[in-house]
Structures are given as C-alpha cells and as structure tokens.
Structure 1
C-alpha cells in the first residue's frame, strides 16, 4: 500500500504535489535541477494522474501511476527501475527562493528539510501574529531567525525592569512602567533641583511624601489657619509669610486665646452659680430645721409652766394630796414623753447637721475640682499638638507572635490618645499603625468628633536625615465612613482606631537602619484640625 504522508509544519507541501482532495502525490517536478528533456522521459518518470515524478511507480490500467494515486484496496507491485531513476534525480531545496543553496538526490530532500535553516517553524514561546493571513495563530519564522527573535523581538520574552528589578513579559513592560512604584516620575508641581533648570525626579511611591514634606512648590495652609489666617502659599514662601504677617498672627492668636478665656470664665461662672444655688438650698434647709427646734423649745417652756402650777397646787392644797399626787404623776408622765420627743428632735437635728457637713464637703470638693480645671486651662496656652516617642523592644518576637502592641497613653491638648501596632501575618506583609482615642477626664468639655492630622516617623539610627515618614489627615469622608474612630469614648478606648493599614513591611522594619538591638523608635506627631 502507498505510504500516507502528513506533516503539521508543511514539509510534504514543499516536496510533493498536493491535489485538491488534500492528498500528497508525486515529487514536485519544478525542483529538478535538470528538467525532463523529452516526451519519452516524461512518460516514464511522471505519474499519469498527478503529473508528479513517480514515487513507488506501478502499472495500473495500462498507465504508470505513483503508489499514492492508485485506489485503496488494489494490489500493486512497484517498478524498481522507475524508483531507482527517480531516486537518483538531483533536485534543489524547496526553500531555494528563501536563499537555501542545497541540492542533492530526491530521496535526501525530506532529511534535508529537517535541518534546513530556512524552514519556517513555530515560535517556541508561542507568540501569535497580529496581522496577515496567520493573524491570531502562533508566529512562524525561519529556523535561523528563531534565536534572534527570542532575544530581541518576541513579545513573550522576559525582561528585567531596571527600576524594580522584577521580571516582566516584553509586551507587559510599558503597562508595568505606568504602575511601577519604583519608576521615577517628575514632581507634579514641577519643582527643580537646588535652583537648577531640571525638574526633580521622584519614585512614584514617594510622591505623596515628597509633596507633604519636601516640595517647595506645594500649596500649604498657613499654620495659623485655625486662628483665622486664610492664606495659602507655596512651601518656599512660608517663611517669608510668617515673618511679614507675624504681628497679624500674634493678634489672631491673642484674639483666639481671649475668646477661649471668656468661654472658660463663663463655664466657671456657671459652675460657681450652681454651687451658690446649692449653698442657698442648704441654708434654707438649716433655717427650716432651726424653726422646728424653736417650736420644740417653746413646747418645753409650756411644759415647765405646767410643772410650776402643779408645784403650787401641792403647796396650797394639802387636803387634796391624793388628787394632786395623781395630777403630779400625770405631769411627770407628760414630762417623760416630752423628753422622748426632745431626744427625737435632737436626733433629727444631728442628722440635719451631718447632712449639712456632707454638703459642705461636696461643695469643697467641687470647688477644688473647679480650681484644678482653672489651673489646667490657665497654666497652658491653647494646646493643639501631641507628641509621642515610642520605643518598642523585642521586635522580632512580636513579629513572630503576630501580637498587638499598645503604647503608653499620651495627650493631644486635652484629648487622651494611644498608639497601636498590628504586625503582619508574614515577613513580606505590611505593618499596620493606628491611633485610638481614650477616655479622659475632660471629655465632657471637649468638641466631638475629633479631627486631626498625624505623622508617623520611623527613626533611622544610621542617618537621622533619612527617617521613614508618613503623613495624613482626617477628612470629612473619614468622619462619615469611620464615625466610631473619632467619637467621644464610652469605655477605656474606642473599639476602632484610625491610621495606615500598610506603613512598612516586616522585612524593611528589621533592617539595621531602623532596628537597633532588637528595638525600633516610632515618633507619633498629632495636630488637631478645626471641626467641619
């Protein structure tokens, strides 16, 4: 039976004749180096059906045909002479037009194509064509160009990002650079380097820190905004503004201080009026008890008068001794009852005196509390900032245990606060730092909800000028989204805090510049902002 040839890369297409039914027949005649010279040679060497050079030639129905053109199921014997003649014919490489100069016998053509560097093959990485007849299919290139393609032009080759050193597919490099945190971008405000003409370049991830702490062209509010100065200016103009408007700032701050002192005085006056009302109430109670005591004294006088009359009756009425004795006994009984009444009134008076003493003690305590509040309010200028230098020891053990770490309480003005760190679940994860509002002694006198601006500074023990900083402030959206973080505490501290869920990774925090003797130092700065 004839041999059936198939080839996914089209090698048979290059060597044999392909007919309309998709089958491969005789050898391609156009590949011959010496073409057939006469009709007799064509009759002997060409298949009568496919007109290709005979391969496994045989006689069928009086004509010479190649073994593939004979119907299936028909027995046939090859003509050895034709096979030998065809096999010895010299042919060129089917890819001669591409530049291959190979030529040899017919039988070696297939073996040559296995090694021919001009043969189109699929891209080993599987990249696809974007246009042409093979659009959407795996790209084909000549063998000799595969290595160059994989090195220089294949969109699926791996490249190393020069900024973050991560491996990225070639076709993904441009989108990657648009999101790469280490890619340098110009300052959004186009600030320049040390007065030069070149715009400062900053890593994409450091842009917020640069704008918050370094950029001389960043718009800032005047530090005396809370006192009424509504000027906004670039950072480089801030010193000049503060010098030029120093007298205005002083006047605004003094006006604000006077207003607060007036409010404080009014509050203290209200408390003093309340205490005065309580004293008047105690005095009224004492006056009422005094009237009761006077009535009891009057009754005692009346009783004494009755005793005197009884005594006189004894002197003048000896004959009526029995009757007088009975009356005297009755008077004595009245005297005993009156004594009991006197004792009861005395007990009530002692109770009233005790209550008066207690009221006086409470008034003294409240007066002491008012004095302490006055001392606090008048011994400090209006406080609007808070500062905590938090040294955390045993950092490695805390990270391994994934435990929560709380700081000592500290005050921002009269607000009591506490810092909290949640260590990440793995070494490459981010460290979460938050600020919690605690229950304080002056909460009923403060404004709620609280609003502030905070800065976290991780101390660099090697270079103090290169600390790791992060700054953010509470916005109106934060107050609406996380109301429980800024309300007045009803217990030890609020259940929710507010800060940054990803300040720095565990790997970075354990670096020598931040971690010294298994300890780190985190500075927390808080500035109160005006209520919205």
Structure 2
C-alpha cells in the first residue's frame, strides 16, 4: 500500500526522461530562491535536467541513476546525493495552497498526508472517504485503505440500515399519497370556488337598506320620501318612497339614476335588475319583494335626472304595513338591491359611448 502511494507521488514530482521513458530527477522549486549556476552544474541531471535523484558520475557529468543509458556505467556520488537531499523545497501543491517546506528527502512522507495531494489523487489509499452506505444512514468516515474492511465487517449493520430506510421510504410514500389525495380534493374545491367566483364576477351587486320612521302619521299623507343617494358599481341611484301612493293606501317605491362623478366614463343607458323588499323584522324569510328589469327607460339614461322614476306601485297595503312584524317601533325598513352586468362598470373611450 505504501508502495502504491509512493508510485503516485513519484509520478507527480519526477521529471520523465524522454529518451528512456524512466522517471528521472525531481521537478521541485526551491524555497525563496532559484538554483545558482554552480548548483546547476553539480546537482542537475545532464539527461533529464531535473534535480539529481540517486546521482551517478559519468565522466564529468552527473546523471540520475534512472537516466543512465544501457551501455553507461558510473559510480554513485554520495556528495551530490547529500547536497540534493538537503535542498529546501516547496510542496508541488504550493499554488493550490499547501504551505509545507522541507527537504527532498522528506517529500514522500509529506505527500502521504498532504490534503492537496489526496484531493489530486482521490483513489489514494490515504485519502479520506465516506461509507458507500451513507445514503442509508452509515456515518463512518475513514481513510480509503480502511473502508473496504469496514464495509465487509459491517454488512449486517448495513443491511439493517437499508431495511429501515426502505420502510421509512414506504411510509413516506404512503403519507405523500394521502397528502396528494387531500390536495386533489382541495384543488377540486378551489376550482369549484373559482368557477363560482368567475360567475359572480360577471355581475355587480349592491344596494342599501333604508329605514323610514313615523309610519303611522306618514301613511295619512300623500308625501314622498327620498332615500340617500348610493353607488352600485359606477352608477349612482336614489329611491323614492310613497306610503300612500295615489291615495290608494298602498306602499309604492321607485328608483332612478342621479348625477354621479363617473357619468362621463360609463356605458349608457343603464340596464339591470332591481329588487325592492319590505323587510319583515321578525322573520326575514317572510319579507315582501318585487323585482323588475330596466329596459332603457328615461329614468336610466344619461342626464335624465329630472325624469320620472320607475318602480313598484303596490308593494304592500296599509293593512300589511301596519302589522307589527313590518312596522314595529313605528318604522319600516326597505331594501333596494341592484344587479347588472359587470362589464357596464368598465371605462370606455368617449368615442364608443352611447346614450
């Protein structure tokens, strides 16, 4: 194993001799300086031009032992070997961030622990790795050289982790399936609500509830009484109440358009349904209602605010109004509800408006 690490290191830090294909001298950088001319003459291989590794003297030249030609024979140079091993060099991974500095003699040992080297060679037995069963819950992190033994020794543990993982996955899938069913039902309800909202948005609703006091005395006259003015959408309305319409002892209620601040910018004439209700104060379900539809009557055309309003001549008789459930407290309540196509509320260009 150490041999495998050393081979990986040597492949990276040695110069390849192009003539014989062997790894030659070291391709190191010195600490804070470069080789002098004298040093180049005595500690640089004349064959690979790397720093001598196992120097051998051939005539007047020095070569790395691995750089010798088959027919060359020389003697080892202990002096050059000592000089070389004492050179202070930087780690080859200095540019990547390694700050180690030391002698060539210690470079192999350094590489066994250099994190930058281990990143460069992830399959190195000294590199740290996670257990392949991490996804199932195994949290062991150790050197690659120990991982194979770990996985063999912990097969039973890993099988239990896998079984637990599968059961948890099944439970999660069942939960997700149930939640999807709930979401589907909620989506259907929401879709129905959206459709209802879309239908509701096609119409504009609005109106008022008006209380008229002093009924007993007012029923004896032929006077009319105005409600407050009110907007529905961009149209402005007002109601007129007769407690003794045409002296026939009947309640009559009438509606008309009045001048509003949006009159220049909306569609005319107004068209819609108008509902008028005499509210039953005891039981609203027993209220008296009547509905009519405008059909371009003058009361609903633009700038016809002095025209005669239209409505219901005989909504209820005096006998009905006098009953306590309608006039209790000597007052009656009238509800006016107006409904029309929402498109009538949109602003139009003055060119396209009609009257």
Question: TM-score of the superposition, structure 1-length normalised?
Answer: 0.27
Q: Greater helix share, 1 or 2?
A: 1
Larger radius of gyration: 1
Structure ranking higher on relative contact order (CA contacts 8 Å, 6+ apart): 2
Q: Greater strand share, 1 or 2?
A: 2
Question: TM-score of the superposition, structure 2-length normalised?
Answer: 0.39
